[in-house]
Chain A
């Protein structure tokens, strides 16, 4: 019963968007009713999405709380998570952007919120992002090996594009312009980099997009008609 109801709702929702898109704005002088309520349907979806927002935090809290209570490995991290969550919710709920009307408590909450968000969270985020660049250097050194013709081609293309996208390539261009004869001056790093991006790259990207769109269409049809295995297994 529930399975069929879920299937019917899924099909009806998909049919709504299909009909709204395919039918003209006016049918025999009458406005398309699907288009009329399009805004309301979108707001309904936004509200539905906002409800689902709590699923993630609730699941996280349940998992971390269990870990902390039973003192399993990593319970300290779970405690840090729970404390940060409570502090985040409390400070965000009571803070104010207008210090002129704020009470002492609200001012303290605002300072704590700024410390947590701008001081801690953003700091950790920036650090982790910065560390990625170091990891990239290490990965480039150890993993990007020219074992095959394909990897050699990729390396050559990557080097030209990287140089072409930086002022280093522009400096090289000036040298190339000074050395090469007029007939070969198209060999500038920037020109070759742009050619790589707009010719072979575009062809490959278009092929990937066609393939991805075909896959998305097939996946969409399977979802719409409730043919996905997860739905069948329920």
Chain B
């Protein structure tokens, strides 16, 4: 009876205690160095890695970096590990964003990596800036963009005409790209797979938030999606493949502690609920 009463208190616990405990748990990875466990990369990150394996140095990738602060905790590490690998392999890339602040956030990540790798803006990479999907319909934008890039986006982020940008003289349509990678909270499969893959024959890979990833496994399973980076775990696994550890592996530990605490909170709540019910039935 006494044990039941103690357990029942868990259910009526003041949430402030939970918040305090959550904060302390999240501080642990900051204070204690935790060794990385052994694991095998799953097929999503492995797929992205294999596609880049088949891309020759000097090849061009279309990179859609459509995220801002809301998705930053997961998309930032994905973009960082992907661009790191592109620069390591000397693969060029054309970037754009369908989120208004997307180009600013992406440049903060890309520019230091590109400069450290000796990439020149305009020759090895370019930022085409923000592209507004008509009526928020990504399929319409992508269809027009992949048919005629200079016609749909005549200038880059800084207002330079694309005809004056060396890398843009090489890429006019979808067939000029070796692959398309889109990193956002929830990439649009209808647009990228329906238009990019089915109509233009592009190889497509996604980087998405972990919470959205279950939706994309259906496309990974069917082979339409060549690779998938799911949240920080995707970035973490990709970093393990390239051997270039960065934000993904750092963020992963916080993510692990946070999720374990979430499971603990669910168990505690249920234990308290069960004990309360038993107490009620006994009395």
Q: Which residues of A contact B (CB under 8 A)?
A: 38-39, 42-43, 45-46, 48-50, 122, 125-126, 129, 133-134, 136-138, 140-146, 155, 159, 162-163, 165-168, 170-171, 173-174, 190, 194, 197-198, 201-202, 205-206, 209
A167-B19 in contact given A136-B262, A141-B268 (Cβ < 8 Å): no
Stretch at the interface among B48-56, B120-128, B163-171, B253-261: B253-261
| Residues on A with beta carbons closer than 8 Å to the beta carbon of B22 | 133-134, 137
* A137 CA to B16 CA, complexed, in Å: 11
Which residues of chain B are near A45, meaning CB under 8 Å? Answer: 134-135, 140
Could you list 20 examples of A-B contacts with CB < 8 Å? Answer: A38-B144, A38-B147, A39-B147, A39-B151, A45-B134, A48-B134, A129-B73, A137-B22, A141-B15, A141-B268, A142-B15, A144-B270, A162-B262, A165-B231, A168-B259, A168-B260, A197-B214, A198-B221, A202-B218, A202-B221
Bound CA span A197–B263, Å = 19
Contact A46 to B134, CB < 8 A, known contacts A129-B69, A170-B38, A174-B37? yes
Summed over the interface, the residue pairs from A and B with CB atoms below 8 Å come to a total of 134
Chain B, Cβ-Cβ closest to A52: B135
Query: Is the CB of B180 closer than 8 A to any CB of chain A?
Result: no
Q: Which residues on B sit within 8 Å (CB–CB) of A137?
A: 18-19, 22, 261-262, 265
Dominant SS among interface residues on chain A: helix
CA A107 to CA B152, docked complex, whole Å: 34
Supplied contacts A137-B265, A142-B15, 17 more A-B pairs, CB within 8 Å:
A45-B135, A46-B132, A49-B132, A49-B136, A125-B70, A129-B69, A134-B19, A134-B22, A140-B265, A162-B262, A165-B231, A167-B37, A168-B259, A170-B37, A198-B217, A201-B214, A202-B217
User: CB of B210 within 8 A of chain A?
Assistant: yes
Partner of B18, one of A39, A141, A167: A141
Q: Which residues of A contact B214 (CB under 8 A)?
A: 197, 201, 205
Contact yes or no, B69 A126, CB < 8 A: yes
Cβ contact within 8 Å between A42 and B134: yes
CB <8 Å contact, A43 and B152: yes
The residue of chain B having its C-beta at the shortest distance from the C-beta of A142 within the complex is B269
